Chains A and B, each alone.
Chain A
């Protein structure tokens, strides 16, 4: 391979990042299209320590340059971030490149932020692709502002590249297996109250499903935490399980945006501080489950969550835009506010909506004898029911609105026709449907919500 590679430019800066555990990421690169010299690599990040496969800097440069080839034809809208995904068997690597435009030295250039992994990690990486891309997209938004100001983008990009390396390393060691043995979960208990209180389990599962299967489980006992993590993961699809993480026994991982279920260990003081920004940036609202004190809290439903998330993103970008000095990158712990938006820090609230679907399932499943796969079968039937109801709901709305061409006005009819009159049931099914058709919550509920938010904002300005 080295025979075909151009010599490494001496200008390429490199950061070696110390990562705990085995990091499947080979390298991350930032390259740009120089108007005179063509594709050039500006920075390389590599994890320190042993890797699955070694790539020399020359090879990394070659691959990174490759990702920009053909982008001379790029005709995307200004600000758009396009994703390219390469599986280069000849080189034995996969490359994920995010292509965007940005200003470097006064010129508008096409840039590429790429991560390189060995091809053998394809199956590991694919379920995590969306998480990585969404996180990188947002740091690119910040980086573009930084570039516009003439500052060095690398420092901004490092803010997300390193956490992504850590995420991949932690997922490598602590991901939830695709097939979960029901014996490792609460559902294998002889009776409903053996591991946890009956209402707690019901609340936890119900809220978990209402928040699209996105939950954080915190506690002091890693075994207890992981048992609940596995239990909640039973209600996820195999691909979603691959985006879930068990808690580490000795010390806690950091909270990672985008994972479906993650177990987090409390510190010696018995607390775990959740980063507001990261939790808000999760693609779905999150359920917070504390297994020590048996509490279940949840974030507002999808449409509110998305609204809050975007408002906060805009605030964060505005704050960055207003920054005067390259050294003043606002830390992520700062809560951004602006004139029109003050985030509600109390994002986790009590579970308001009672349901019948999960309630009856939890009641009934423990009637079946454990250890015989009867419960697994019953669980499969329950999940099948939820998936089918979600698809029915989606199709119902699709019919009513002619695929979104008309506004949806018949929520009451929907509830009656599809037997979703109980609010909790509706929220669970809507959450399943949201995962199938992103934006459904906003489409169905956003009008009154936006109107109320708008009114609230207007009133607060008086």
Chain B
């Protein structure tokens, strides 16, 4: 009984001995909590902040109103919630961390501009649960006190550790933004000086005329008070002109000074352009010195000459800037609080301002999400770079353009679209953590793969400036090229995605899955924290191009690629010992068509069932580096089986006569081939794979025979998903595609929807096929092809929920295909799947490169002994049964092919058919 007096002693101390007030006990404020909040909830430490997401805050220390927030990124007020931005601005701006002298230095006649380096501070407000990386910078403003306006850009987060662990990346990104803003500000400042000098010049000339007239009117040696005032005014204007000329000289010397900040990032081109622009201005306004030499000695001549020059100058200026009319400057400027200070936009050249804001938006996006996901993703990427030899099996594309990331250096770029190489980073920081390189890619200027980036930049409103004139032509060319090059893939991506999503939505509304937990999936708030960072450029926006047209375009693209592959095929240099027994069993059709592919089979051991690397790796290639081996031009056997379009013309001649008709049909309905289920013609992204993870979990939970289906895919047996409803079939294919080894960069080994009979060549090419069930002559032909090739394929009937495939009795897949799993979310299942597949890939790597398994230890050993050793390794060392071994053998075979022919990228590396005489079994729900 809970109320029993026996347990009173246990209930006495709620907080593990803290309840008793001990006079000698140290007060809590001087001690450490025994059970801090993070123990009861490790996710809670950031929950008491008054804002929901990290954001960027730009604040200013206004000389009129003090510290004030100017802008937040994202601008949505919901992000900041009830967080007091005014108070926080006060906190972060309350100290002038740059602390340098401004104004008139002693002994100097002219005001000096202070060129101070940016300072970076991490601070927080532990009570509010808000922490910030604060980047302090100074902009120049002719109207401001000391000509400086202190600003700061702050990355505000509830997680202090996130800021400190990513300090260097934050510093780098904000330094880029700051340099961009400051470069724009210097241009604007120089222009402002130019206008001011023109005003002063105009005022000077007016005053000069007035003074001259007065002097002529008055008697000699007698000056009226008015004349004296005018003379003083004139002297003041002259002084002011000198001062402003000096300011112009100072601002133009900005980039010549030595930088003290090793973290500063600057674009050489920006610097040079700014420099030359300022020099032009200096040169121009140096001529204004002449009017000051007006002494009355040679009044007519000088004045006439000056006027003439001025007119010419004016004329030139009018031509250049017809909008600006010089103003007469009043003797006394407005009082401090009367004047309106310029806004941040006004302080900065519009192009640079927009580029800065874009840069900050990308920064915010890049650092979005929970630290543990950011951190793991970073580590994940670094580790995957070290295993390029197996990445093609199950990992999404790493890309080649982030090599520098590998060394821990974020590649800086010019925010206003200058070439990357122009940047100089004085002391490239080591990156502990980083942001999604996709974001960087999206920002990269003139990237042919991201035409929208350069388009955006091209259409910036402020790009009439001279410094940008040089780049647009190049960009346009590149953009055109890239847009042509990517038409097919991009457009099919969108349309296919949209279609699939619509169908998914439809299906959701029509037939909800029995698992109610799964229907709770879109918990946006929760997902946003951990998975928002997976955002991929161009993921969401469609281009609206009609599907049919896009598919044709994509088909054409595919055909062109096929042609290329056919051309290079002849020169292929295949080293893999293929299973000749397998070829024979298939009535010799497989490689008869391609003479180039017969070669490797000859002279190889027919007993080797797996095409493993049967030479010591070092004998083949310099493996130390990047496993880049094989002749660059070599192509996989699969390419020879591609349907020829145009170039060789005679498609049938390359395949068996028997298959000819089917091939022709397949080719004629090639519009189905453009789209792949995941990438839809484009590169398959992590986000798409995660989405597919949800479908995969549903599949595993719904179909008790999911394990058999997965085994088929993982062991290289083509799985055909048959169904009437295109949406359902596509969804299934999309989910199952996660299990297809080496699906290709764009999912080339998967055909989401095929409405015509397939051929053996198709089976060679695709490992997962979505097939339309139709009640027509075409349908009967399809059923014929299904039954005909049933030896090589497994058939998942989406309509009747059946699976026909050989039985699987292994244990390897039990963990990823358990329909009783308690994994609730698709994203979690995807992570689990990733781990399991990664483990499989590692075992396959081990099997492939353990050389003693594939080589005879002594000359007396025959291939049977080696084969036996290999079997023994699989069964005893790895503990795999017969069916599980098949998975590993298939993966190993793919690794071998990829390793020997890296130029094909693995995706094109089709393997030989494998089959056995095990009878297929029909599984039902």
Query: Once bound together, how far apart are the Cα atoms of A48 and B248, in whole Å?
Result: 47
A residues in contact with B524, CB < 8 Å: none
Instruction: Give which listed residue, B127, B160, B842, contacts A382 with CB less than 8 A.
Output: B842
**Interface pair B846/A368, CB less than 8 Å apart:** yes
Q: Which of A217-271 contact B (CB under 8 A)?
A: 237-239
CB closest residue in chain A, given B823: A417
Contact of B825 among A3, A395, A405, A454 (CB under 8 A): A395
If A317-B31, A372-B623, A381-B390 touch, whether A391 touches B373 (CB-CB below 8 Å) is: yes
Chain A window 81-95, contacts with chain B (Cβ cutoff 8 Å), 1 for yes, 0 for no: 011111111101000
Number of interface residues of A (CB under 8 A): 106
Judging by beta carbons under 8 Å apart, are B95 and A70 in contact? yes
Contact residues in A for B371 (Cβ distance below 8 Å): 436
Q: Dominant SS at the A interface?
A: helix
Query: Within residues 815 to 835 of chain B, which ones have a CB less than 8 A from any CB in chain A?
Result: 815, 818, 821-825, 827-828, 831-832, 834-835
List the one stretch of A124-132, A151-159, A286-294 in contact with chain B: A124-132
Q: How many pairs of residues, A versus B, come closer than 8 Å at their CB atoms?
A: 290
- Across the interface, B617 reaches (CB within 8 A) one of A66, A372, A414, A439, namely A372
Determine which of B34, B387, B831, B832 lies in contact with A381 in the assembled complex, contact meaning CB atoms within 8 Å: B387
Whether the Cβ atoms of B617 and A374 lie closer than 8 Å is: yes
Q: Which residues in B have their C-beta under 8 angstroms from that of A367?
A: 846, 850, 852
Q: Which residues of B contact A416 (CB under 8 A)?
A: 822
Q: Are B839 and A314 in contact (CB under 8 A)?
A: no
Chain A neighbourhood of B125, CB < 8 A: 75-76
CB B61 to nearest CB in A, in angstroms, measures: 12
Q: Which of B530, B815, B835 has the most CB of A within 10 A?
A: B835
- Contact status A77-B126, CB under 8 Å: yes
Q: In the bound complex, how far is the Cα of B12 from the Cα of A455, in angstroms?
A: 11
How far does the alpha carbon of A66 sit from the alpha carbon of B95 in the complex, in Å? 8
Q: Which of A436-460 contact B (CB under 8 A)?
A: 436-440, 442-443, 446, 450, 453-455, 457-458
- The contact string, 1 if C-beta is below 8 Å from chain A, for chain B 723-766, is 00000000000000000000000000000000000000000000
* Distance of A122 Cα from B408 Cα, bound (Å): 15
**Which single member of B17, B43, B98, B383 contacts A398 (CB below 8 Å)?**
B43
Chain A residues in 8 Å Cβ range of B553: none
Whether B119 pairs with A86 at a CB distance below 8 angstroms is yes
From B33, B383, B386, name the one whose CB has the most chain A CB atoms within 10 angstroms: B383
* Closest B residue, CB atoms, query A405: B41
Flag whether B40 is at the interface (Cβ < 8 A).
Answer: yes
Instruction: Check A123 against B168 for contact (C-beta < 8 Å).
Output: yes
How far is it, in angstroms, between the C-alpha of A439 and the C-alpha of B95 when the chains are bound? 35
* B side interface size, CB within 8 A: 110
The stretch from A140-148, A190-198, A200-208 touching chain B is A140-148
Residues A310 and B120 in contact, CB atoms below 8 Å apart = no
Bound form: Cα–Cα A265–B16 in Å = 40
Cβ–Cβ contact A377 & B376, under 8 A = no
Kindly supply a per-residue 1/0 record for chain A positions 105-128, scoring 1 wherever the CB is within 8 Å of any chain B CB and 0 otherwise: 000000000000001101100110
**A14: Cβ under 8 A from any B Cβ:** no
Q: Known contacts being A84-B122, A86-B121, is A439 close to B16, with CB within 8 Å?
A: no
Residues of B near A4 (CB, < 8 A) are 99-101
Minimum Cβ distance to chain A for residue B66 (Å): 12
Q: Does residue A169 face the partner (Cβ distance < 8 Å to B)?
A: no
Closest to A392 in B: B831
Residue contact B832 to A364, C-beta cutoff 8 Å: no
State the CA gap A458–B12 with chains docked (Å): 10
> B530, A387: Cβ atoms under 8 Å?
no
Q: What separation, in Å, do the CA atoms of A70 and B66 have in the docked complex?
A: 14
Instruction: Report B78-121 CB contacts with A as 1/0, cut-off 8 Å.
Output: 00000000000011001101111100000000000000111111
Residue of B nearest to A413 (CB): B822
Q: A90-B98, A90-B260, A384-B387 are in contact. Are A237 and B618 (CB under 8 A)?
A: no
Q: Which of B570-622 contact A (CB under 8 A)?
A: 616-618
Known pairs A86-B97, A384-B387; A450 contacts B35 (CB<8 A): yes
A184–B168 Cα gap in the complex (Å)?
30
Q: For B164, give the chain A residue with the smallest CB separation.
A: A129
Residue pair A439, B846 in contact (C-beta under 8 Å): no
Task: Choose from B408, B526, B842 the contact partner of A385 (Cβ within 8 Å).
Answer: B842
Which single residue of chain B is at the shortest CB-CB distance from A382?
A: B842
Q: Is the CB of A381 within 8 A of B43?
A: no
A318 to B99, CA, bound (A): 43
Assess the B121–A87 pair: CB atoms within 8 A: yes
The reply to whether the CB of B429 lies closer than 8 angstroms to some CB of chain A is yes
A398 near B91: Cβ-Cβ < 8 Å: no
Structural contact, B121 and A84, CB atoms closer than 8 A: yes
Chain A residues near B26 (CB, 8 Å)? 145, 314, 317-318, 320-321
A381-B101 contact in complex given A75-B127, A395-B827, C-beta closer than 8 Å = no
A446 to B842, CA, bound (A): 35
User: Is A369 within 8 A of B616, CB to CB?
Assistant: yes
Q: Does chain A have a CB within 8 A of B474?
A: no
In the bound assembly, the distance between CA atoms of A396 and B122 in angstroms comes to 33
Q: Is A295 positioned at the interface, with any CB of B under 8 Å from its CB?
A: no
Could you tell me if A387 and B618 are in contact, using CB atoms closer than 8 angstroms? no
Which residues on the A side are within 8 Å of B121 (C-beta)?
84-87
The answer to whether the Cβ of A410 comes within 8 Å of any Cβ in the partner chain is yes
Interface: A400 (CB within 8 A): yes
| B614: min CB distance to chain A, Å | 14
- Set A90, A387, A450: member contacting B100, Cβ < 8 A: A90
Residue numbers in A under 8 Å from B841 (CB-CB) = 381
Give the shortest distance, in Å, between B899 (CB) and chain A (any CB): 11
Q: Which of B261-269, B446-454, B533-541 lines the interface with chain A?
A: B261-269
B44: Cβ under 8 A from any A Cβ: yes
Q: Which residue of A lies closest to B379 (CB)?
A: A387
For A16, what are the chain B residues with a Cβ–Cβ distance below 8 Å? Answer: none
In the assembled complex, B845 has its CB within 8 A of some CB on chain A: yes
CB distance from A426 to the nearest CB of B (A): 14
Check: A311 CB closer than 8 A to any chain B CB.
Answer: yes
CB pair B376 A391 closer than 8 Å: yes
Is the Cβ of A399 less than 8 Å from the Cβ of B828? yes
CB distance from A273 to the nearest CB of B (A): 26
Interface pair B838/A385, CB less than 8 Å apart = yes
Cα A320 to Cα B26 in complex, Å, equals: 9
A361-398 interface mask toward B, CB cutoff 8 Å, 1 = contact, 0 = none? Answer: 00110011100111011101111110111111011101
A462→B18 CA distance, assembly (Å): 17
- Determine if B42 and A83 form an interchain contact, defined as CB atoms under 8 angstroms apart: no
Q: Are B387 and A90 in contact (CB under 8 A)?
A: no
Which residues of A in the span 135-179 have a Cβ within 8 Å of any Cβ on B? Answer: 141, 144-145, 148, 178
What is the minimal beta-carbon distance from A212 to any residue of chain B, in angstroms? 14
Contact across chains for B261 and A373 when beta carbons are under 8 A apart:
no
Tell which of B118, B387, B824 touches A380, judged by Cβ atoms closer than 8 Å. B387
Q: Is A7 an interface residue (CB 8 A)?
A: no
Query: Is the beta-carbon distance between B839 and A395 smaller than 8 angstroms?
Result: no
A77 and B32 CA atoms in complex are apart in Å by 14
Cross-chain pairs A/B with CB under 8 angstroms, 11 sampled: A4-B100, A4-B101, A84-B122, A88-B97, A318-B26, A372-B617, A374-B623, A381-B383, A395-B831, A404-B41, A414-B822
Residues in chain B within 8 A of chain A (CB atoms)? 9-10, 12-13, 16-17, 24-26, 28-36, 38-45, 90-91, 94-95, 97-101, 116-127, 160, 164-165, 167-168, 171, 260-264, 371-373, 375-376, 379-380, 382-384, 386-387, 389-390, 408, 427, 429-430, 432, 526, 530, 616-618, 623-625, 815, 818, 821-825, 827-828, 831-832, 834-836, 838-839, 841-842, 845-846, 849-852, 877
Given contacts A85-B164, A145-B26, A436-B371, 15 further A-B contacts (CB under 8 A): A84-B123, A90-B100, A239-B165, A310-B32, A340-B17, A383-B379, A388-B376, A392-B828, A392-B835, A396-B828, A417-B818, A436-B372, A437-B42, A438-B38, A439-B36
Binding site for B on A (CB under 8 A): 3-4, 66, 69-70, 73, 75-80, 82-90, 92, 119-120, 122-123, 126-127, 129-130, 141, 144-145, 148, 178, 237-239, 303, 306-307, 310-311, 313-314, 317-318, 320-322, 340, 363-364, 367-369, 372-374, 376-378, 380-385, 387-392, 394-396, 398-400, 402-405, 410, 413-414, 416-419, 436-440, 442-443, 446, 450, 453-455, 457-458, 462
